[in-house]
Chains A and B, each alone.
Chain A
Protein backbone atom coordinates (compact mmCIF):
# COMPACT_ATOMS: atom_id res chain seq x y z
CA UNK A 1 0.00 0.00 0.00
CA UNK A 2 1.35 3.39 -0.95
CA UNK A 3 2.38 5.42 2.05
CA UNK A 4 0.66 8.69 2.82
CA UNK A 5 2.84 11.73 3.06
CA UNK A 6 1.63 14.07 5.75
CA UNK A 7 3.10 17.46 6.40
CA UNK A 8 3.28 17.90 10.15
CA UNK A 9 4.73 21.40 10.04
CA UNK A 10 7.88 22.88 11.43
CA UNK A 11 9.13 21.03 14.47
CA UNK A 12 10.85 22.98 17.22
CA UNK A 13 12.59 20.22 19.12
CA UNK A 14 16.13 20.50 20.38
CA UNK A 15 18.42 17.48 20.11
CA UNK A 16 17.34 14.93 22.72
CA UNK A 17 13.80 16.26 22.85
CA UNK A 18 10.64 14.51 21.73
CA UNK A 19 6.96 15.17 21.47
CA UNK A 20 3.98 12.92 20.97
CA UNK A 21 1.59 13.86 18.20
CA UNK A 22 -1.61 12.46 16.72
CA UNK A 23 -1.32 11.87 12.98
CA UNK A 24 -3.87 10.07 10.87
CA UNK A 25 -5.43 8.55 13.98
CA UNK A 26 -2.12 7.22 15.25
CA UNK A 27 -0.15 8.25 18.32
CA UNK A 28 3.37 8.95 17.12
CA UNK A 29 6.54 10.02 18.88
CA UNK A 30 8.60 12.60 17.03
CA UNK A 31 12.23 12.74 18.15
CA UNK A 32 15.18 14.99 17.45
CA UNK A 33 18.27 12.79 17.60
CA UNK A 34 21.41 14.85 17.16
CA UNK A 35 19.66 17.22 14.76
CA UNK A 36 17.80 14.64 12.69
CA UNK A 37 14.12 13.89 13.07
CA UNK A 38 12.67 10.40 13.52
CA UNK A 39 9.16 9.12 14.12
CA UNK A 40 8.02 6.03 15.98
CA UNK A 41 4.63 4.50 16.68
CA UNK A 42 3.81 5.17 20.31
CA UNK A 43 3.19 1.52 21.15
CA UNK A 44 5.71 -0.89 22.58
CA UNK A 45 5.84 -4.24 20.74
CA UNK A 46 6.46 -5.93 24.07
CA UNK A 47 3.28 -5.26 26.03
CA UNK A 48 1.70 -2.25 24.43
CA UNK A 49 2.96 0.53 26.68
CA UNK A 50 3.31 4.09 25.42
CA UNK A 51 6.84 3.55 24.24
CA UNK A 52 7.53 7.11 23.13
CA UNK A 53 6.57 8.56 26.51
CA UNK A 54 9.50 6.89 28.23
CA UNK A 55 12.88 8.50 28.87
CA UNK A 56 15.18 9.32 25.94
CA UNK A 57 18.56 7.99 26.99
CA UNK A 58 21.89 6.53 26.11
CA UNK A 59 23.07 3.24 27.49
CA UNK A 60 26.15 1.27 28.44
CA UNK A 61 27.89 -0.06 25.35
CA UNK A 62 28.77 -3.76 25.09
CA UNK A 63 32.24 -4.44 26.47
CA UNK A 64 34.58 -7.40 26.74
CA UNK A 65 35.69 -6.66 30.26
CA UNK A 66 34.39 -5.06 33.43
CA UNK A 67 34.12 -1.49 32.31
CA UNK A 68 31.24 0.87 31.80
CA UNK A 69 31.21 2.96 28.68
CA UNK A 70 28.26 5.28 28.26
CA UNK A 71 27.30 5.89 24.67
CA UNK A 72 24.50 6.38 22.13
CA UNK A 73 23.41 9.47 24.03
CA UNK A 74 19.79 10.36 23.19
CA UNK A 75 19.63 7.63 20.54
CA UNK A 76 17.37 5.33 22.57
CA UNK A 77 13.95 5.45 24.10
CA UNK A 78 13.05 3.23 27.05
CA UNK A 79 9.50 2.05 27.48
CA UNK A 80 7.92 3.25 30.72
CA UNK A 81 6.58 -0.26 31.26
CA UNK A 82 9.37 -2.83 31.86
CA UNK A 83 12.18 -0.61 30.58
CA UNK A 84 13.02 -2.19 27.24
CA UNK A 85 15.32 0.01 25.13
CA UNK A 86 14.70 0.75 21.45
CA UNK A 87 16.86 2.59 18.95
CA UNK A 88 14.85 5.62 17.89
CA UNK A 89 16.25 5.63 14.37
CA UNK A 90 15.49 2.01 13.50
CA UNK A 91 13.02 0.84 16.14
CA UNK A 92 15.32 -2.08 16.93
CA UNK A 93 15.31 -3.34 20.50
CA UNK A 94 18.77 -3.24 22.08
CA UNK A 95 18.65 -6.80 23.36
CA UNK A 96 16.68 -8.49 20.60
CA UNK A 97 17.10 -7.34 16.99
CA UNK A 98 13.98 -9.28 16.03
CA UNK A 99 11.90 -7.12 18.36
CA UNK A 100 11.12 -3.89 16.55
CA UNK A 101 9.03 -0.87 17.27
CA UNK A 102 7.28 0.56 14.23
CA UNK A 103 9.13 3.57 12.83
CA UNK A 104 8.15 5.99 10.08
CA UNK A 105 10.35 7.80 7.61
CA UNK A 106 10.62 11.55 8.13
CA UNK A 107 11.83 13.90 5.43
CA UNK A 108 12.23 17.66 5.47
CA UNK A 109 10.76 20.19 3.13
CA UNK A 110 10.77 23.92 3.48
CA UNK A 111 7.16 23.94 4.60
CA UNK A 112 7.84 21.43 7.35
CA UNK A 113 8.51 17.80 8.17
CA UNK A 114 6.90 15.13 6.04
CA UNK A 115 5.83 11.98 7.78
CA UNK A 116 5.61 8.89 5.55
CA UNK A 117 2.91 6.85 7.18
Chain B
Protein backbone atom coordinates (compact mmCIF):
# COMPACT_ATOMS: atom_id res chain seq x y z
CA UNK B 1 0.00 0.00 0.00
CA UNK B 2 1.27 3.45 -0.96
CA UNK B 3 -0.12 6.70 0.44
CA UNK B 4 0.10 9.68 -1.94
CA UNK B 5 -0.68 12.53 0.46
CA UNK B 6 1.11 12.61 3.82
CA UNK B 7 1.78 15.98 5.40
CA UNK B 8 5.13 16.41 7.08
CA UNK B 9 5.46 19.62 8.98
CA UNK B 10 7.97 21.71 10.84
CA UNK B 11 7.45 23.23 14.27
CA UNK B 12 9.21 26.42 13.32
CA UNK B 13 9.99 27.72 9.83
CA UNK B 14 13.45 28.67 11.12
CA UNK B 15 14.46 25.12 10.14
CA UNK B 16 14.75 26.56 6.62
CA UNK B 17 17.38 29.13 7.56
CA UNK B 18 20.43 26.87 7.16
CA UNK B 19 19.36 26.27 3.56
CA UNK B 20 18.84 29.91 2.57
CA UNK B 21 21.23 32.39 1.03
CA UNK B 22 22.20 35.63 2.76
CA UNK B 23 19.57 37.78 1.08
CA UNK B 24 16.47 35.71 1.62
CA UNK B 25 17.74 34.14 4.82
CA UNK B 26 17.82 37.68 6.15
CA UNK B 27 14.28 38.26 4.85
CA UNK B 28 13.13 35.24 6.81
CA UNK B 29 15.24 35.83 9.93
CA UNK B 30 14.38 39.47 10.44
CA UNK B 31 11.43 40.06 8.17
CA UNK B 32 7.70 40.06 8.69
CA UNK B 33 5.89 36.77 9.10
CA UNK B 34 2.17 36.80 8.61
CA UNK B 35 1.55 34.24 11.34
CA UNK B 36 3.85 35.76 13.94
CA UNK B 37 7.32 34.65 14.98
CA UNK B 38 8.34 31.15 13.88
CA UNK B 39 5.66 30.92 11.20
CA UNK B 40 6.21 30.47 7.51
CA UNK B 41 5.74 33.79 5.72
CA UNK B 42 2.77 32.87 3.54
CA UNK B 43 -0.50 34.69 3.04
CA UNK B 44 -2.85 32.48 5.01
CA UNK B 45 -6.26 31.68 3.53
CA UNK B 46 -8.98 33.73 5.20
CA UNK B 47 -11.20 30.67 5.82
CA UNK B 48 -10.25 29.50 9.28
CA UNK B 49 -11.14 26.00 10.42
CA UNK B 50 -13.10 26.39 13.68
CA UNK B 51 -11.66 23.18 15.10
CA UNK B 52 -8.17 23.41 13.61
CA UNK B 53 -7.31 21.42 10.51
CA UNK B 54 -5.34 18.63 12.11
CA UNK B 55 -6.68 15.36 13.47
CA UNK B 56 -7.82 15.87 17.04
CA UNK B 57 -7.16 12.28 18.10
CA UNK B 58 -3.40 12.50 17.65
CA UNK B 59 -1.15 13.41 20.54
CA UNK B 60 2.16 14.57 19.15
CA UNK B 61 5.18 14.79 21.43
CA UNK B 62 5.70 17.97 23.44
CA UNK B 63 6.67 20.85 21.20
CA UNK B 64 5.52 19.09 18.01
CA UNK B 65 2.59 19.48 15.66
CA UNK B 66 0.92 16.33 14.39
CA UNK B 67 2.88 16.35 11.14
CA UNK B 68 6.25 17.31 12.61
CA UNK B 69 6.42 14.28 14.91
CA UNK B 70 8.06 11.55 12.83
CA UNK B 71 7.85 8.96 15.62
CA UNK B 72 4.09 9.39 15.75
CA UNK B 73 3.81 9.34 11.96
CA UNK B 74 5.74 6.09 11.98
CA UNK B 75 3.49 4.55 14.59
CA UNK B 76 0.13 5.97 13.51
CA UNK B 77 0.54 5.73 9.76
CA UNK B 78 3.60 3.98 8.33
CA UNK B 79 3.59 0.98 10.67
CA UNK B 80 -0.10 0.90 11.50
CA UNK B 81 -1.13 0.51 7.86
CA UNK B 82 2.08 -1.24 6.80
CA UNK B 83 2.70 1.35 4.11
CA UNK B 84 5.31 0.50 1.55
CA UNK B 85 5.78 4.19 0.70
CA UNK B 86 4.38 7.50 1.86
CA UNK B 87 4.68 10.48 -0.43
CA UNK B 88 5.30 13.59 1.66
CA UNK B 89 3.54 16.75 0.55
CA UNK B 90 4.61 19.20 3.25
CA UNK B 91 2.33 21.55 5.14
CA UNK B 92 2.80 25.32 5.07
CA UNK B 93 4.95 25.04 1.96
CA UNK B 94 1.80 24.27 -0.06
CA UNK B 95 0.86 27.93 0.43
CA UNK B 96 4.13 29.06 -1.11
CA UNK B 97 2.18 30.39 -4.09
CA UNK B 98 0.60 33.04 -1.88
CA UNK B 99 3.87 34.94 -1.42
CA UNK B 100 3.68 37.95 -3.73
CA UNK B 101 7.44 38.23 -4.27
CA UNK B 102 8.29 35.42 -6.74
CA UNK B 103 12.02 35.53 -5.95
CA UNK B 104 11.49 35.19 -2.22
CA UNK B 105 9.04 32.36 -2.94
CA UNK B 106 11.59 30.48 -5.02
CA UNK B 107 14.19 30.92 -2.29
CA UNK B 108 11.72 29.39 0.17
CA UNK B 109 11.01 26.52 -2.22
CA UNK B 110 14.69 25.74 -2.53
CA UNK B 111 15.19 25.86 1.25
CA UNK B 112 12.16 23.64 1.80
CA UNK B 113 13.46 21.10 -0.66
CA UNK B 114 16.88 20.94 0.99
CA UNK B 115 15.23 20.64 4.40
CA UNK B 116 13.00 17.86 3.07
CA UNK B 117 15.89 15.96 1.51
CA UNK B 118 18.23 16.31 4.48
CA UNK B 119 15.86 16.12 7.43
CA UNK B 120 12.92 13.94 6.30
CA UNK B 121 13.93 11.68 3.46
CA UNK B 122 16.88 10.40 5.51
CA UNK B 123 14.59 9.29 8.36
CA UNK B 124 12.92 6.32 6.75
CA UNK B 125 13.24 4.50 3.43
CA UNK B 126 9.47 4.55 3.07
CA UNK B 127 9.34 8.34 2.82
CA UNK B 128 9.40 9.93 -0.63
CA UNK B 129 9.41 13.63 -1.33
CA UNK B 130 7.62 16.28 -3.37
CA UNK B 131 9.78 19.04 -4.82
CA UNK B 132 8.02 22.30 -3.98
CA UNK B 133 8.18 25.00 -6.62
CA UNK B 134 6.83 28.54 -6.75
CA UNK B 135 4.43 28.75 -9.71
CA UNK B 136 4.56 32.56 -9.62
CA UNK B 137 8.20 32.26 -10.73
CA UNK B 138 8.14 29.80 -13.67
CA UNK B 139 11.81 30.27 -14.56
CA UNK B 140 12.85 29.83 -10.94
CA UNK B 141 10.60 26.78 -10.65
CA UNK B 142 12.13 25.25 -13.77
CA UNK B 143 15.63 25.88 -12.44
CA UNK B 144 14.71 24.21 -9.15
CA UNK B 145 13.32 21.17 -10.98
CA UNK B 146 16.56 20.84 -12.95
CA UNK B 147 18.66 21.44 -9.82
CA UNK B 148 17.06 18.83 -7.57
CA UNK B 149 14.58 16.83 -9.65
CA UNK B 150 17.01 13.99 -10.16
CA UNK B 151 17.27 13.16 -6.45
CA UNK B 152 16.33 9.49 -6.16
CA UNK B 153 13.75 10.07 -3.41
CA UNK B 154 12.09 13.08 -5.02
CA UNK B 155 9.17 11.58 -6.90
CA UNK B 156 7.21 14.61 -8.07
CA UNK B 157 7.10 18.37 -8.55
CA UNK B 158 4.43 20.02 -6.42
CA UNK B 159 2.51 23.29 -6.53
CA UNK B 160 -0.80 24.52 -5.14
CA UNK B 161 -4.28 24.39 -6.66
CA UNK B 162 -4.77 28.12 -6.32
CA UNK B 163 -2.64 30.36 -8.50
CA UNK B 164 -2.76 33.70 -10.26
CA UNK B 165 -3.56 32.24 -13.66
CA UNK B 166 -4.94 28.86 -14.71
CA UNK B 167 -2.11 26.42 -15.29
CA UNK B 168 -2.61 26.04 -19.04
CA UNK B 169 -1.52 29.67 -19.48
CA UNK B 170 1.75 29.65 -21.45
CA UNK B 171 3.22 31.72 -18.59
CA UNK B 172 3.79 28.40 -16.81
CA UNK B 173 5.31 26.52 -19.75
CA UNK B 174 8.87 26.58 -18.36
CA UNK B 175 7.67 24.50 -15.39
CA UNK B 176 6.10 21.80 -17.54
CA UNK B 177 9.10 21.81 -19.87
CA UNK B 178 11.46 21.15 -16.96
CA UNK B 179 9.24 18.50 -15.37
CA UNK B 180 8.95 16.63 -18.66
CA UNK B 181 12.69 16.91 -19.18
CA UNK B 182 13.56 15.34 -15.84
CA UNK B 183 10.69 12.87 -16.08
CA UNK B 184 8.78 13.87 -12.96
CA UNK B 185 4.99 14.06 -12.64
CA UNK B 186 3.55 17.36 -11.42
CA UNK B 187 1.24 17.31 -8.42
CA UNK B 188 -1.27 20.05 -7.82
CA UNK B 189 -2.22 19.97 -4.16
CA UNK B 190 -5.22 21.76 -2.74
CA UNK B 191 -4.16 25.08 -1.25
CA UNK B 192 -2.99 28.61 -1.83
CA UNK B 193 -6.46 30.09 -2.01
CA UNK B 194 -6.94 33.74 -1.24
CA UNK B 195 -4.77 36.82 -1.25
CA UNK B 196 -3.08 37.36 -4.61
CA UNK B 197 -4.37 34.01 -5.85
CA UNK B 198 -7.71 32.85 -7.16
CA UNK B 199 -10.44 32.38 -4.60
CA UNK B 200 -11.99 28.96 -4.12
CA UNK B 201 -15.19 30.29 -5.64
CA UNK B 202 -15.37 32.30 -8.82
CA UNK B 203 -18.58 33.96 -7.67
CA UNK B 204 -16.22 35.72 -5.23
CA UNK B 205 -15.24 34.71 -1.74
CA UNK B 206 -17.33 32.27 0.26
CA UNK B 207 -17.97 32.96 3.95
CA UNK B 208 -17.62 29.79 5.96
CA UNK B 209 -14.77 27.29 6.21
CA UNK B 210 -16.79 24.33 5.02
CA UNK B 211 -18.34 26.36 2.22
CA UNK B 212 -14.81 27.14 1.05
CA UNK B 213 -13.78 23.52 1.54
CA UNK B 214 -16.67 22.16 -0.52
CA UNK B 215 -15.94 24.60 -3.35
CA UNK B 216 -12.21 24.08 -3.55
CA UNK B 217 -12.82 21.83 -6.51
CA UNK B 218 -13.53 24.95 -8.57
CA UNK B 219 -9.84 25.81 -8.78
CA UNK B 220 -9.04 22.29 -9.88
CA UNK B 221 -11.77 22.38 -12.53
CA UNK B 222 -10.26 25.55 -13.97
CA UNK B 223 -6.74 24.19 -14.04
CA UNK B 224 -7.83 20.90 -15.62
CA UNK B 225 -9.75 22.69 -18.37
CA UNK B 226 -6.91 25.13 -18.94
CA UNK B 227 -4.14 22.50 -19.03
CA UNK B 228 -6.03 20.40 -21.54
CA UNK B 229 -7.29 23.21 -23.78
CA UNK B 230 -3.96 25.01 -24.00
CA UNK B 231 -2.47 21.77 -25.27
CA UNK B 232 -0.01 21.19 -22.43
CA UNK B 233 -0.32 17.44 -23.02
CA UNK B 234 0.26 17.80 -26.75
CA UNK B 235 3.40 19.82 -26.10
CA UNK B 236 4.68 17.41 -23.40
CA UNK B 237 3.12 14.06 -24.20
CA UNK B 238 4.89 12.29 -21.34
CA UNK B 239 3.74 14.77 -18.68
CA UNK B 240 1.52 13.37 -15.91
CA UNK B 241 -0.49 15.55 -13.55
CA UNK B 242 -1.64 14.38 -10.13
CA UNK B 243 -4.56 16.31 -8.66
CA UNK B 244 -4.37 16.00 -4.87
CA UNK B 245 -7.26 16.53 -2.48
CA UNK B 246 -9.46 18.49 -4.89
CA UNK B 247 -12.37 16.06 -4.89
CA UNK B 248 -13.32 13.58 -7.55
CA UNK B 249 -16.92 13.51 -8.70
CA UNK B 250 -16.84 16.89 -10.43
CA UNK B 251 -14.49 15.57 -13.09
CA UNK B 252 -16.83 13.63 -15.41
CA UNK B 253 -19.35 16.49 -15.84
CA UNK B 254 -16.57 19.00 -16.55
CA UNK B 255 -15.08 16.66 -19.14
CA UNK B 256 -18.51 16.03 -20.70
CA UNK B 257 -18.92 19.77 -21.11
CA UNK B 258 -15.44 20.21 -22.54
CA UNK B 259 -15.98 17.34 -24.98
CA UNK B 260 -19.25 18.90 -26.19
CA UNK B 261 -17.51 22.23 -26.63
CA UNK B 262 -14.62 20.71 -28.53
CA UNK B 263 -16.95 18.95 -30.96
CA UNK B 264 -18.51 22.27 -31.90
CA UNK B 265 -15.66 24.69 -31.46
CA UNK B 266 -12.39 22.81 -31.82
CA UNK B 267 -11.39 25.63 -34.18
CA UNK B 268 -10.50 27.65 -31.08
CA UNK B 269 -7.93 25.05 -30.08
CA UNK B 270 -6.68 23.51 -33.34
CA UNK B 271 -3.70 21.96 -31.57
CA UNK B 272 -5.94 19.47 -29.80
CA UNK B 273 -6.08 16.18 -31.68
CA UNK B 274 -8.43 14.32 -29.39
CA UNK B 275 -11.40 14.82 -27.10
CA UNK B 276 -10.50 16.72 -23.92
CA UNK B 277 -11.62 13.70 -21.90
CA UNK B 278 -9.04 11.55 -23.68
CA UNK B 279 -6.21 13.82 -22.57
CA UNK B 280 -7.62 13.66 -19.06
CA UNK B 281 -7.73 9.90 -19.11
CA UNK B 282 -4.11 9.64 -20.21
CA UNK B 283 -2.50 12.50 -18.29
CA UNK B 284 -4.48 13.23 -15.12
CA UNK B 285 -4.53 11.17 -11.96
CA UNK B 286 -6.58 11.93 -8.86
CA UNK B 287 -5.87 11.09 -5.24
CA UNK B 288 -8.80 9.55 -3.41
CA UNK B 289 -9.12 11.63 -0.24
CA UNK B 290 -11.66 13.12 0.23
CA UNK B 291 -13.98 10.88 -1.76
CA UNK B 292 -17.45 12.37 -1.84
CA UNK B 293 -20.03 10.37 0.09
CA UNK B 294 -23.50 10.67 -1.45
CA UNK B 295 -26.37 8.97 0.39
CA UNK B 296 -26.55 6.39 -2.38
CA UNK B 297 -23.06 5.02 -2.93
CA UNK B 298 -24.06 3.76 -6.38
CA UNK B 299 -24.17 7.38 -7.52
CA UNK B 300 -20.53 7.82 -6.56
CA UNK B 301 -19.57 4.54 -8.17
CA UNK B 302 -21.14 5.71 -11.43
CA UNK B 303 -18.95 8.83 -11.37
CA UNK B 304 -15.85 6.83 -10.53
CA UNK B 305 -16.58 4.48 -13.41
CA UNK B 306 -17.19 7.46 -15.72
CA UNK B 307 -13.64 8.63 -15.06
CA UNK B 308 -12.17 5.11 -15.28
CA UNK B 309 -11.32 5.31 -11.59
CA UNK B 310 -9.87 1.83 -11.64
CA UNK B 311 -6.99 3.25 -13.66
CA UNK B 312 -6.96 6.93 -12.67
CA UNK B 313 -7.32 6.95 -8.87
CA UNK B 314 -4.38 6.91 -6.44
CA UNK B 315 -4.92 6.22 -2.75
CA UNK B 316 -4.25 9.04 -0.30
CA UNK B 317 -5.02 9.41 3.41
CA UNK B 318 -4.20 13.11 4.01
CA UNK B 319 -2.55 12.21 7.33
CA UNK B 320 -2.63 13.99 9.80
CA UNK B 321 -5.46 16.27 8.75
CA UNK B 322 -8.97 16.42 10.13
CA UNK B 323 -10.53 14.71 7.11
CA UNK B 324 -8.09 11.78 7.11
CA UNK B 325 -9.29 8.70 5.21
CA UNK B 326 -8.55 5.28 6.61
CA UNK B 327 -7.35 3.03 3.76
CA UNK B 328 -9.62 0.24 4.92
CA UNK B 329 -12.67 2.48 4.57
CA UNK B 330 -12.13 3.85 1.07
CA UNK B 331 -15.38 3.18 -0.79
CA UNK B 332 -14.13 1.73 -4.05
CA UNK B 333 -14.79 -1.70 -5.55
CA UNK B 334 -12.62 -4.49 -4.14
CA UNK B 335 -11.27 -5.40 -7.55
CA UNK B 336 -9.84 -1.87 -7.91
CA UNK B 337 -7.74 -2.12 -4.78
CA UNK B 338 -4.56 -3.48 -6.30
CA UNK B 339 -4.58 -0.66 -8.85
CA UNK B 340 -5.60 2.20 -6.59
CA UNK B 341 -3.41 1.29 -3.60
CA UNK B 342 -0.40 0.23 -5.64
CA UNK B 343 -0.13 -0.28 -9.40
CA UNK B 344 -1.61 3.05 -10.57
CA UNK B 345 0.73 4.83 -8.17
CA UNK B 346 3.87 3.11 -9.42
CA UNK B 347 2.91 3.91 -12.99
CA UNK B 348 2.86 7.63 -12.21
CA UNK B 349 5.79 7.66 -9.82
CA UNK B 350 8.32 5.87 -11.96
CA UNK B 351 11.08 6.25 -9.39
CA UNK B 352 9.26 3.81 -7.12
CA UNK B 353 10.35 0.22 -7.69
CA UNK B 354 8.23 -1.18 -10.51
CA UNK B 355 6.43 -4.48 -10.34
CA UNK B 356 7.06 -6.68 -13.33
Partner-B contacts on A (CB < 8 A): 47-50, 53-55, 78-83
Contact = CB atoms under 8 A, between A and B. Distances in A.
Interface string B28-72: 000000000000000000000001000111100000000000000
B51 A83 contact: yes
B324 interface: yes
Contact of B329 (A48, A54, A79): A48
A82 B323 contact: yes
Q: State which size class the interface on B falls in.
A: 10 to 19
B57 A53 contact: yes
Interface string B250-274: 0000000000000000000000000
Interface in B105-119: none
A81 B322 contact: yes
A47 B328 CA distance: 9
B282 interface: no
A52 to B, nearest CB: 9
Q: Which residue among B57, B324, B328 has the maximum number of chain A CB atoms within 10 Å of its CB?
A: B57
Nearest to B49: A83
26 contacts: A47-B325, A48-B326, A48-B328, A48-B329, A50-B57, A53-B56, A53-B57, A54-B56, A55-B51, A55-B56, A78-B56, A79-B57, A80-B55, A80-B56, A80-B57, A80-B58, A80-B322, A81-B55, A81-B57, A81-B324, A81-B325, A81-B326, A82-B322, A82-B324, A83-B51, A83-B322
Contacts of A50: 57
A49 B324 CA distance: 9
B216 to A, nearest CB: 16
Name the prevailing secondary structure of the A interface residues. Answer: loop
A78 B326 CA distance: 17
Contacts of B322: 80-83
Contact of A78 (B51, B323, B328): B51
Nearest to B323: A82
B57 A49 contact: yes
A47 B326 CA distance: 7
Contacts of B55: 80-81
Nearest to B57: A80
Contacts of A83: 51, 56, 322-323
A15 to B, nearest CB: 20
A50 B57 CA distance: 7
A48 B328 CA distance: 9
Nearest to A55: B56
B208 to A, nearest CB: 12
A56 to B, nearest CB: 10
Of the candidates A53, A55, A78, A83, the one having the most CB atoms from chain B within 10 angstroms of its own CB is A83
Contacts of A49: 57, 324, 326
Residue among A47, A55, A78 having the largest count of chain B Cβ atoms under 10 Å: A47
Contacts of A80: 55-58, 322
Contacts of B56: 53-55, 78, 80, 83
Given A55-B51, A81-B57, A82-B322, 20 more contacts: A47-B326, A47-B329, A48-B326, A48-B328, A49-B57, A49-B326, A50-B57, A53-B56, A53-B57, A54-B56, A78-B51, A80-B55, A80-B56, A80-B57, A81-B55, A81-B324, A81-B325, A81-B326, A82-B324, A83-B322
A50 B324 CA distance: 12
A78 B58 CA distance: 13
Contacts of B51: 55, 78, 83
Report, nearest first, the 6 A-B pairs whose CB atoms are least far apart.
Answer: A80-B57, A53-B57, A80-B56, A47-B329, A80-B55, A54-B56
A48 B81 CA distance: 14
Nearest to B66: A80
A80 B329 CA distance: 15
Given A48-B329, A55-B51, A81 B323 contact: yes
